Structure 1
Amino acid sequence: MMQEQPSCFSAFAEPPTTYCTALRQLLDEHPLLREQMEAFQRTSLDVKKDIEEGRDGKTNMVRLHEQLQSFVTDIDPHSEREEGVLFPMMANYIGREGGPIAVMEYEHDQAKRHLALFFEEVEQKSIAELPKEAILKLANYANVVYTTLTDHFAKEEQILFPMAEKMLTDEEKESLQQKIAEIV
């Protein structure tokens, strides 16, 4: 009988029971970000409903704009902690091209791109001047951010952070903590 060969990530199949301080901080930042994402997702759906029911959607679009501005204020430092510190440390072990780090960076880029598109279009014209088609397009950008980051957080929590906890040395975890503490 042939035994099944373990995959290169099988050592990370069981999540750790505890996390180092730095990874715990990154994990603990997710609930607030998720709350903000749920709020702007509800508002983007309200915008679409407004349009479908014959309203202009502009009141909800103003609220969506405010929610996304607040979200960016909180997500940017979180992303920098990951992209600028955690991902490079992990890339030393698993590489950056292909695999989990490439996926994480791609998803960060997708979310940032759609946020940038949202803000660029809102800044080109005031919300009051936007036609319904543009308002629907803006609501869709928010939906893409929500979907991308919802899946992204799940991957971090189920794969990336457990992998980091198991692969990084105690010295690297201490360095990770010191470096992410510098990002405000």
Structure 2
Amino acid sequence: MELSPCMMAHDGDVQLCPALQQLKDEHGPLNEQKQQLVDMAQQIGQNDETADWKEALLTLRENVQSFLEQLDPHSQREEGVLFPMMAQYIGRTSGPIAVMEYEHDQAKRNIATFLEQTAHLSGTVNREAAKQLAFYVINAYHILTEHFMKEEHVLFPMAEKLLSNDEKEELAQKIQAI
């Protein structure tokens, strides 16, 4: 049996082809940014009453926007390339792909709500309002943390087994174009 390049990369118990390994590797920097966001969000509303919650929210907002610049291409690689390729084997209306897409939507919805509600902050922002706004970021963090784990331990290994070598090459080409 000839070993394809997709069988040579090793990831714990499951060997991932380079394209799937790239998607997994993208989680590392995203996890670091995501952790910084949740740390910032959790600080909002926790300090003293005279804190400038508006300024804290605006700083968090800038960091969320920076995070999205990294998250969006990763999501496009999964939603636009990997998920459709897997869906031809396992379907899309229920099961792992449906769950992954739902979680993407939930995380994006939380982030979008935070960005919309912090787009035009005026005057002072009280502690409770700031905490409520920061909660959207905290919620997105929890969704994405669990989501990344599911991808790494279930979805990517499943894709490795389902996709043919030709499909893995196609996956690699298409995700490189994004």
State whether TM-score is above 0.5.
yes
1:63 paired with 2:59, answer yes
- What root-mean-square deviation, in Å, do the aligned CA atoms of Structure 1 and Structure 2 show? 1.5
* Cα displacement string for residues 60-83 of structure 1 (whole angstroms, at most 9, x for unaligned residues): 323211210110000000000000
**How far is the alpha carbon of 1:84 from its aligned partner?**
0.4
Deviates more, 1:17-26 or 1:159-168: 17-26
1:149 paired with 2:144, answer yes
Inter-partner Cα distance in structure 1 for 2:160 and 2:13: 7
Alignment-derived partner of residue 46 in structure 1? 43
SS state at 1:35 partner: helix
SS state at 2:116 partner: helix
**What is the aligned length?**
166
1:118 paired with 2:114, answer yes
Alignment-derived partner of residue 36 in structure 1? 33
Inter-partner Cα distance in structure 1 for 2:32 and 2:148: 13
**How far is the alpha carbon of 1:131 from its aligned partner?**
3.7
Structure 2: gaps (5+ residues): 1-11
1:133 paired with 2:120, answer no
Inter-partner Cα distance in structure 2 for 1:149 and 1:55: 32
* Cα displacement string for residues 92-145 of structure 1 (whole angstroms, at most 9, x for unaligned residues): 00000111000000000001101110111111334x543433311210000011
Alignment-derived partner of residue 104 in structure 1? 100
Inter-partner Cα distance in structure 1 for 2:91 and 2:135: 33
Structure 1: gaps (5+ residues): 1-14
Inter-partner Cα distance in structure 1 for 2:61 and 2:112: 12
Alignment-derived partner of residue 86 in structure 1? 82
Q: Is the 8 A contact 1:47 1:58 kept in 2?
A: no
Alignment-derived partner of residue 168 in structure 2? 173
Alignment-derived partner of residue 19 in structure 2? 22
Deviates more, 1:55-64 or 1:94-103: 55-64
What is the TM-score when the length of structure 1 is the normalising length? 0.85
SS state at 1:40 partner: helix
What is the TM-score when the length of structure 2 is the normalising length? 0.88
